[in-house]
Amino acid sequence: MNFCPNCGGKKEIENAKFCPNCGFNFQDTKINEEPRIQIESDTKIMQKSSTPQVVDEDETEESEYNAKNAYALGFKFEDTVEEILKAKGYSTQRRLRLDGQKGKSEIDILAIKKYKGKEKRIAVECKNHTNSVSVKDIRDFVSKLEDLQIRNGLFVAYSDFSSEAESWGENACLELWDGDTVSEKFYELSVGRLKVGDKVDFKYYLPVKIDYNYATNLDFENKNKIEISRAKLIWRPFYKVFYELNSVQTDPIKRKHRITDSGFNIVDGLMKSQKKQKNIVSDTIKSISFGLIGKSAEEKKEDKERGILKKELRQNPDKDYSMTQQDNYKVIKHKPQISEVVARGETIDYVVEKNTETIEYEVPTKKRKRKDDDDFDFELPDIKEYTLKPSRKDVTINEIQLIHVPKWEVEFESGDYTYIRVISANGGTIIADNITNCNKHLLKDFIKKKNVAVCDVCGKALCKDHIVKCPTCAALRCEAHSIQCMSCKTIFCSEHIINKCAECGEAVCDACLQKCPICGDNHCNKHMTKCAKCGKVICTSCTRKEGSLIFKKTICNNC
């Protein structure tokens, strides 16, 4: 297929995973297509066979990745990433060679956004490899950022990341986008181009009970330092499939077992295709070797969101609703990436697996002759197991509802930091939030302490235990942008503690600062002493010791 089935645009690259115009995922299209019959010419049919060839799409391997496509895709992939960043308000520059401490380094994309007189820079690395990004690539990028002294980094991969690479990236505070993330963000960008006042229609939906003001509210002391850079009301599709099961199974000893069940099953309309999971075995082996058995952070986040929204679907949905595109946030309605046929099949598999059970049955044994008086004339029966599994034909699908569930996705910016809050718009459950609670505590996952302010300089969100208020100007600062007085231990902002001790070089506040009457230099309390003769307070550099070996006195140089 040389065109996009969603927007009709021509595919510029044969093996592209998503449409460059609308972000539609071509891989999911292959999964949803019915097996097609290849029609051959009469000559070929005579040469081979008169039977049409049926192609199984699940078994068809992707065409090999060649250097020509890789070169073309590299620039096109960067174009897509650049357009996403521009939509977020960044100005971008491509293929920059910047001077670092170790020489020049090239940056694929440099994204810059000005915020309240300050400039935020993000260095973007794009990798269009078909293999998973290795930890070496992440380490090299982190070293490049340190050399160029760029605090924020974004690593974008055409494929995905290995478990160790993902762990390294998170520890280095990098933002990681895999191919699926890029596709989703580009799709949201194309959907978000609706104009203010345009209508979005729903047949089945869960109502919005959490409004925009609640989703964006921050109980911070200096909330004026935080800006809402982006807000979206995203409607995620789910299939609610109602089913009935009525099955009769016979075990090996001819007993009848009736199995009945009824209810509904929730199928995620954005469910990832099985084809994308083909590297799961190799990823698992890597995880075991690194001692990181389990799912990645992104997969855990996705599972958490899916689980929360599925719970809300236990209630009955509302019908027939239209809402208009707003000016302060975007309304995004996701189209399902799987068809009703796939949802039906998933539900049947779920019902069959749910009602499959293993039972025990007795196999009688033949009596044998007694050998002596102590021998019994019977034996214990053999206990065997048998699995009762309903047939797929025994499952009846009564109704399928396509229900859209709302969630808020809000992006905050403060200084050098970007924060994201994801919250269910129906039930109000927090799905993801890195701005509300402080992350500097060791037990942050169990003991949550709410942030009260952001640093006025860098924008880091902190709780009352880690934020500092300057006693002079009441400025709120983090540890990195505040200074403690050597003498009284009071913490000030860097603008209101500029004096330093001439002896030790430590910062001293105005109240603790003392001037030596002999040399005229400023000192802290630790390096000031009293002359034993004249009683004046002078610095230790302007004194000498007199007296015996045991009883020595401190005398100033003037005495």
**pLDDT value at residue 557:** 84
Q: 40-65 pLDDT, tens per residue?
A: 333 333 343 333 333 333 333 333 33
**pLDDT value at residue 27:** 58
Choose which CATH entry (3.40.1350.10, 3.40.50.300, 2.30.42.10, 3.30.70.360) describes domain 26-55+65-191. 3.40.1350.10
CA 171 to chain centre: 13
Mean pLDDT over 345-368 rounds to: 87
Count CB atoms within 10 A of the CB of residue 339. Answer: 16
pLDDT-derived band at 208, boundaries 50, 70, 90: very high
**pLDDT value at residue 347:** 96
The answer to whether 501 and 523 have CB atoms below 8 angstroms apart is yes
Judge whether residue 148 has pLDDT over 80.
yes
Mean pLDDT over 106-132 rounds to: 85
pLDDT-derived band at 3, boundaries 50, 70, 90: low
Better-predicted residue by pLDDT, 505 or 26: 505
Mean pLDDT over 403-429 rounds to: 93
CA-to-CA separations, 462 to 100, 487, 513, in angstroms, rounded: 31, 26, 30
CA-to-CA separations, 255 to 16, 250, 251, in angstroms, rounded: 56, 5, 6
Rounded percentage of the chain residues whose pLDDT exceeds 90: 36
CA angle 50, 53, 56 (to 5 degrees): 165
Mean pLDDT over 27-51 rounds to: 38
Mean pLDDT over 358-378 rounds to: 67
**pLDDT value at residue 90:** 87
**pLDDT value at residue 287:** 38
Domain ranges of the chain: 26-55+65-191, 199-353+396-435, 468-556
The answer to whether 482 and 504 have CB atoms below 8 angstroms apart is no
Token duo for residue 543: 């004194």
**pLDDT value at residue 218:** 93
Q: What is the mean pLDDT of the chain?
A: 80
CA-to-CA separations, 455 to 113, 291, 384, in angstroms, rounded: 19, 37, 69
The answer to whether 206 and 323 have CB atoms below 8 angstroms apart is no
Please state, in angstroms and rounded to a whole number, the distance separating the CA atoms of residues 468 and 418: 21
| Poorest-pLDDT segment among 113-122, 138-147, 312-321 | 113-122
pLDDT-derived band at 245, boundaries 50, 70, 90: very high
Nearest CA to 124 out of 174, 163, 187 is that of 174
pLDDT-derived band at 367, boundaries 50, 70, 90: low
Judge whether residue 242 has pLDDT over 90.
yes
Please state, in angstroms and rounded to a whole number, the distance separating the CA atoms of residues 350 and 354: 6
**pLDDT value at residue 116:** 63
CA dihedral 373, 378, 379, 380 (to 10 degrees): -120
DSSP string over 174-195: -EEE-HHHHHHHHHHHHHTTPP
Count CB atoms within 10 A of the CB of residue 340. Answer: 16
Judge whether residue 361 has pLDDT over 70.
yes
CA-to-CA separations, 229 to 82, 152, 470, in angstroms, rounded: 17, 17, 28
